């Protein structure tokens, strides 16, 4: 149902009590100043109840009101109950949900929803000028208040000598007042597309050279040998043991190594093919414990490769097979391998938008690595966890964790984990408003990534450098970083994120060229969007492009590309069951449908 520049009203302008309104349906769009009105002049406001299966959308200064005493009377505000899968306020003027009063008491507003989005464009009020304020309750079944709790120290601290009165008058802005909570808001498609760079654990196979891996018990002078059995070290590492010397007779080890190389270069299709062949070879071998362990590791890797390709059914199938073969007995005996499987599980969960579950899985992975004595993987799991925390808006916890991990890694040789730790610390500084500090830290991260010569890392850091430069107002520098990010990208997703960021900045800087820029971008972007995997980061990047196009009103001349993009994103968001992405998609579809 839609209300455009119209009203559904049972208000009272005299002494009578306001009537009640009940709306039941699939979705309800209030646009162009539309109102649902049960307000009164001097008596109690009416009650409004809205029950929707999907979306309640408010845009263009629309309003739902049960305010009482608008003429100065003493009536109480009415009650407003809203039940909808999503409540969305579109970025086109401030919208209102009110149950206010003048002399009486404010009413009660209850909103039950999976996600309340666009709250910066929505004012919810149940106040009274002379009476008691009403209550506002927003209930979301997916919210877990425990995630925002931090255990306080048992010993009290005397803070009297730790407070500086830097916010006093005439201090020339030398201080700032900051009110902290969880630290920020969850990641939404309206922010710069940067996504996550989750560090994988490709397993404890202990390869030592491209040609293959030798058992520690075998002398180097013996050369390459065919794998006939496995040995497992105390820390869970699986070693292939052989007594043959012909490298051509060692296909399994060659497949494993080549799969790793392809994965690290971003060639996930090739990695999946090679690892699938490895799984098939192991399946033909006798069902010994060592072979089962190797197959668990390979299936976990295969799930990672499929997830990068957006082939979710195959990814889930491979991961479930890995879990099934990792029996409780093997899981307890080999914590290193258990950590690998849990790290993969968390990666899949985050990519599908299930950040709370990913946080728990990474904590379990870290515990397993700690049990096995694997410090590098332990730190890597905690570092991955900080990215999931940040996506939920827990910026303080994420920043504290990334800073601590970065300090530890700073004492170790250069690694991908060191780069991502610095990038996470820089992201925290930028969220606090210090883009200059973020830029300096990212420059350090870029130097390490370049020394490692890993294009994927370099591209990711360049993308964040572009965001930091843009935050400082350095447009030329930001564009250069975005171009560098796209040039070094090893995946369609990173390349797309860089191009979309560059396009949005150019549109913002020169609106007169926006239409021409969009026309130039459509053709090269379409094959890239088709190559994007169906993941949370991919969907959010596409929604950021949609937002840019709608905000600049670029679809009027060529509407078809935007319609096709919205259809694709809608299907992907629903397949991922990402509530936030679904809600934004519905809102953008409504905005596009009703634009002039």
Is pLDDT above 70 for 467? Answer: yes
Whether 324 maps to a domain, the answer reads: no
DSSP 427-458: HHHHHTT-HHHHHHHHHHHHHHHHHHT-HHHH
Which of 312-321, 358-367, 373-382, 516-525 bottoms out in mean pLDDT, i.e. has the lowest? Answer: 516-525
Is pLDDT above 70 for 482? Answer: yes
Whether 432 maps to a domain, the answer reads: yes
Residues 1-30 have a mean pLDDT of: 80
Residues 468-484 have a mean pLDDT of: 96
Task: Tell whether 435 and 497 lie within a shared domain.
Answer: no
Whether 378 maps to a domain, the answer reads: no
Which pLDDT belongs to residue 219? 31
Which pLDDT belongs to residue 247? 34
Is pLDDT above 80 for 294? Answer: yes
Helix (H, G, I), strand (E, B) or coil at 570: helix
Tokens of residue 563, six digits: 């319609």
Tokens of residue 310, six digits: 């957006």
Which of 151-165, 394-408, 467-481 bottoms out in mean pLDDT, i.e. has the lowest? Answer: 151-165
Q: How many CB atoms lie within 10 A of CB 9?
A: 16
Which pLDDT belongs to residue 224? 43
β-pair type (55-58, 28-31): parallel
How many domains are contained in the chain? 4
Q: In terms of pLDDT, which residue wins out, 148 or 56?
A: 56
Residues 5 and 21: their CA atoms lie apart, in Å, by 18
Which pLDDT belongs to residue 579? 83
Whether 323 maps to a domain, the answer reads: no
Is pLDDT above 60 for 181? Answer: no
Tokens of residue 400, six digits: 């504290």
Tokens of residue 571, six digits: 């299907």
What global pTM score does this model have? 0.68
C-beta separation of 204 from 232 below 8 A: no
Residues 113-141 have a mean pLDDT of: 80
The residue behind tokens 């003027």 is 93
Which of 22-31, 112-121, 535-544, 549-558 bottoms out in mean pLDDT, i.e. has the lowest? Answer: 112-121
Task: Tell whether 10 and 105 lie within a shared domain.
Answer: yes
Element (H, E) at 35: strand 35-37
> Where does a domain end: 121, 142, 163?
142
Which pLDDT belongs to residue 23? 92
Residue 52, phi-psi category: left (phi > 0), alpha (psi -120 to 50), beta (remainder): beta
Nearest to 77 by CA among 13, 10, 128: 128
Residues 416-425 have a mean pLDDT of: 96
Q: What is the DSSP letter of 147?
A: G
Residues 475-494 have a mean pLDDT of: 94
Percentage of the chain with pLDDT > 90? Answer: 44
Task: Tell whether 17 and 93 lie within a shared domain.
Answer: yes
Q: In Å, how far from its chain's centre is CA 102?
A: 43
Residues 254-268 have a mean pLDDT of: 89
Which of 129-143, 156-170, 246-260 bottoms out in mean pLDDT, i.e. has the lowest? Answer: 156-170
Whether 210 maps to a domain, the answer reads: yes
Task: Tell whether 17 and 94 lie within a shared domain.
Answer: yes
Residue 149, phi-psi category: left (phi > 0), alpha (psi -120 to 50), beta (remainder): beta
Nearest to 138 by CA among 167, 165, 169, 113: 113
CATH number (domain holding residue 301): 1.25.40
pLDDT tens figures, 204-222: 654 333 333 233 333 333 3
Name the range with the highest mean pLDDT among 65-79, 85-99, 427-441. Answer: 427-441
Q: How many CB atoms lie within 10 A of CB 197?
A: 22
Element (H, E) at 356: helix 355-372
Number of H helices and E strands in the chain, helices first, is 18, 15
Beta-strand runs (E) in 106-165: 109-117, 122-125, 136-139
Task: Tell whether 136 and 23 lie within a shared domain.
Answer: yes
DSSP 504-543: HHHHHH-GGGHHHHHHHHHHHHHHHHHHS-SSHHHHHHHH
Which pLDDT belongs to residue 355? 92
How far apart, in Å, are the Cα atoms of 159 and each of 152, 156, 164? Answer: 15, 9, 10
Task: Tell whether 405 and 279 lie within a shared domain.
Answer: no
The residue behind tokens 């500090």 is 437
Whether 266 maps to a domain, the answer reads: yes
Whether 559 maps to a domain, the answer reads: yes
Is pLDDT above 60 for 427? Answer: yes
Q: What is the DSSP letter of 498?
A: H
Cα dihedral angle (10, 11, 14, 18), rounded to 10 degrees? 70
Taking all residues of the chain, what is their mean pLDDT, rounded to a whole number? 82
Nearest to 514 by CA among 543, 489, 549, 545: 549
Q: In Å, how far from its chain's centre is CA 20?
A: 41
Q: In terms of pLDDT, which residue wins out, 240 or 299?
A: 299
Task: Tell whether 561 and 448 lie within a shared domain.
Answer: no
C-beta separation of 340 from 300 below 8 A: yes
Torsional sign, CA 352, 355, 360, 362: positive
The residue behind tokens 């940067």 is 194
Phi, psi (degrees; rounded to nearest 5) at 406:
-60, -40
The length of the chain in residues reads 596
Nearest to 232 by CA among 294, 309, 175, 276: 294
* 277-294: burial string, b at 16+ Cβ within 10 Å, e else: bbbebbeebeeeebbbbb
Q: Domain limits at 258?
A: 203-286+297-310
Which pLDDT belongs to residue 182? 62
Task: Tell whether 212 and 255 lie within a shared domain.
Answer: yes
Whether 439 maps to a domain, the answer reads: yes
C-beta separation of 453 from 420 below 8 A: no
CATH number (domain holding residue 475): 1.25.40.10
The residue behind tokens 């020394």 is 451
Task: Tell whether 567 and 511 lie within a shared domain.
Answer: yes
């Amino acid at each position: 149902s839609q209300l455009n520049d119209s009203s559904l009203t049972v208000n009272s302008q005299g002494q009578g009590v306001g009537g009640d309104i009940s709306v039941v349906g699939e979705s309800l769009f209030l646009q162009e100043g539309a109102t649902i009105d049960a307000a009164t002049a001097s008596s109690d406001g009416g009650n409004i109840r809205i029950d929707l299966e999907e979306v309640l959308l408010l845009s263009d200064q629309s309003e739902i009101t049960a305010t009482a005493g608008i003429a100065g009377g003493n009536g109480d505000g009415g009650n407003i109950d809203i039940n909808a899968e999503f409540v969305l306020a579109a970025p086109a003027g401030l919208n209102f949900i009110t149950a206010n009063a003048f002399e009486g008491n404010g009413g009660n507003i209850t909103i039950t929803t999976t996600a309340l989005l666009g709250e910066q464009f929505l004012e919810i009020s149940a106040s009274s000028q002379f009476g008691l304020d009403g209550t506002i309750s927003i209930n979301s079944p997916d919210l877990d208040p425990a995630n925002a709790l931090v255990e306080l120290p048992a010993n009290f601290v005397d803070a009297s000598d730790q407070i500086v009165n830097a916010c006093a008058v005439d201090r020339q802005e030398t201080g700032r007042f900051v009110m902290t909570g969880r630290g920020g808001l969850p990641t939404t498609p309206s922010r710069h597309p940067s996504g996550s760079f989750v560090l994988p654990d490709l397993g404890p196979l202990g390869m030592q050279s491209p040609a293959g891996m030798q058992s520690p018990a075998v002398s180097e002078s013996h050369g390459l040998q065919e794998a006939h059995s496995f040995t497992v070290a105390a820390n869970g590492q699986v070693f292939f043991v052989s007594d043959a010397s012909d490298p051509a007779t060692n296909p399994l080890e060659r497949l494993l190594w080549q799969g790793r190389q392809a994965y690290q270069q971003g060639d996930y299709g090739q990695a999946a093919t090679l690892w699938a062949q490895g799984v098939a070879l192991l399946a033909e071998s006798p069902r010994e414990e060592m072979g089962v362990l190797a197959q668990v590791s390979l299936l976990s890797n295969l799930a990672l490769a499929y997830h990068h390709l957006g082939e979710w059914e195959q990814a889930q199938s491979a991961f479930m097979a890995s879990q099934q073969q990792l029996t409780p007995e093997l899981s307890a005996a080999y914590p290193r391998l258990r950590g690998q499987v849990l790290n993969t599980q968390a990666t899949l969960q985050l990519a599908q938008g299930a950040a709370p579950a990913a946080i728990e899985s990474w904590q379990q992975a870290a515990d397993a690595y700690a049990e096995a004595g694997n410090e590098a993987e332990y730190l890597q799991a905690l570092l991955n966890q900080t990215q999931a925390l940040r996506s939920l808006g827990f910026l303080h916890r994420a920043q504290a964790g990334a800073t601590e991990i970065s300090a530890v890694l700073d004492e170790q040789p250069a690694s991908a984990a060191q780069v991502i730790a610095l990038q996470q610390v820089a992201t925290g500084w930028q969220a606090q408003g210090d883009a200059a500090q973020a830029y300096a830290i990212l420059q350090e991260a870029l130097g390490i990534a370049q020394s490692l010569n890993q294009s994927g890392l370099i591209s990711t850091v360049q993308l964040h450098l572009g965001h930091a430069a843009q935050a400082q107002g350095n447009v030329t520098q930001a564009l250069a970083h975005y171009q560098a990010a796209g040039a070094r990208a090893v995946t369609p997703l990173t390349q797309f994120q860089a191009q979309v960021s560059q396009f949005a900045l150019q549109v913002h800087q020169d609106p007169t060229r926006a239409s021409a820029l969009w026309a130039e971008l459509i053709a090269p972007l379409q094959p890239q969007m088709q190559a994007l995997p169906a993941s949370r980061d991919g969907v959010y990047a596409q929604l950021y492009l949609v937002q840019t196009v709608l905000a600049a009103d670029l679809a009027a001349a060529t509407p078809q590309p935007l319609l096709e993009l919205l259809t694709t994103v809608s299907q992907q968001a629903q397949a991922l069951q990402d509530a936030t992405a679904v809600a934004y998609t519905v809102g953008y579809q409504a905005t596009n449908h009703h634009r002039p």
